[in-house]
Amino acid sequence: MKDVAVLIGSGSIGQAIIRRVGADKHVVLADLRQEAADAAAKILENAGFKTSTIVVDISSRESILKLIEHAQKFGKIKNLVNAAGVSPSQAPVAAILKVDLYGTSVLLEEFGKVIAEGGSGVIISSQSGHRLGALTEDENYKLATSPTEELLELPFIKAITDTLKAYQYSKRCNGLRVMYEATAWGKRGATINAISPGIIITPLANDELHGPRKDGYLKMIEASPAKRAGTPDEVGDLAEFLMSSRGRFINGADFLIDGGTTASYWFGDLQYLKKTH
């Protein structure tokens, strides 16, 4: 029996993180598509990792519980990395809210019941959560603390009709739920944090940078303080620190890693984006 590291969403960012924290552990690769999990498993197996794969739909509590049951066959769950989700251009409002808002909240809740002493988790959120205007104190509290099965019934969530707003609210909720669940994780001697990346070069992002909307993306990147996009390895380095012994005093936090894009969106050269967002 080994310690277990669970990765949900087997794309470039998730793989970059799990390569840094999964050594000498059994790595469970969970994805909505079996072929994606298998492809990641082959890459990691060829790099010396021990893996298993399972199909998971994080919009389903039953599917999440089956994932936990699978992972516990190999040992104590020491790490959780959630890099799964859908974007505003990939899915309708209902699906975005069910996966990114509800599903992530259930993950935090259920893994918080089984995470091992000394364990840690990271949720990959998005800079989009930081582009949503200020919510009321009551809205923040309800997103953070409402029972998971009631989240999608909140009136201000049910009123969302735009996919971008659905995504932004979901990612804001991710950070708030991480803050809320940090207490339960802390009582088990574990930490949970969120990371909110900006534009990171992955196969999907690369397609966008060469597609019909490339001019808007390139303009945004050039006008950002960093003047470039990020890489999965940079996100992986941040996650590695948060999940290591050096990051034990960090719990319930949300870290922007976007080259200063959000700062510029609110107060700098990218303020023009507020007109379209």
| Residue 200 DSSP one-character state | B
Is residue 208 over pLDDT 90? Answer: no
Beta strands in 171-253 (DSSP E): 191-197
Q: What residues form DSSP beta bridges with 77? A: 4
Domain definitions of the chain by residue range? 4-275
Residue 167 annotated in active site: yes
- Based on its alpha-carbon atoms, the radius of gyration of the chain, rounded to whole angstroms, reads 18
> The whole model's pTM is what?
0.96
Confidence of residue 230 (pLDDT cuts 50, 70, 90): very high
Residue 37 pLDDT exceeds 70: yes
pLDDT beyond 90 at 210: no
Residue range 99-146, pLDDT digits in tens: 999 999 999 999 999 999 999 999 999 999 999 999 999 999 999 999
Q: Do residues 191 and 179 lie in contact, with contact meaning Cβ atoms separated by under 8 Å?
A: no
Catalytic residue among 102, 169, 171, 180: 171
Is residue 194's pLDDT more than 80?
yes
Catalytic-role residue among 25, 78, 102, 167: 167
Question: Which residues are CB-neighbours of 6 under 8 A, at least 6 positions away?
Answer: 27, 28, 30, 67, 71, 77, 79, 80, 81, 111
55-111: pLDDT as tens digits: 999 999 999 999 999 999 999 999 999 999 998 888 899 999 999 999 999 999 999
Q: Dig out the tokens for 223 from the structure.
A: 């006008």
CATH classification code of 4-275? 3.40.50.720
Per DSSP, the three-state class of 80 is strand
How far apart, in whole angstroms, are the C-alpha atoms of residue 122 and residue 81?
5
Cα–Cα distance for residue pair 80/192, rounded to 1 Å: 9
102 annotated active-site: no
19 secondary structure, DSSP code: H
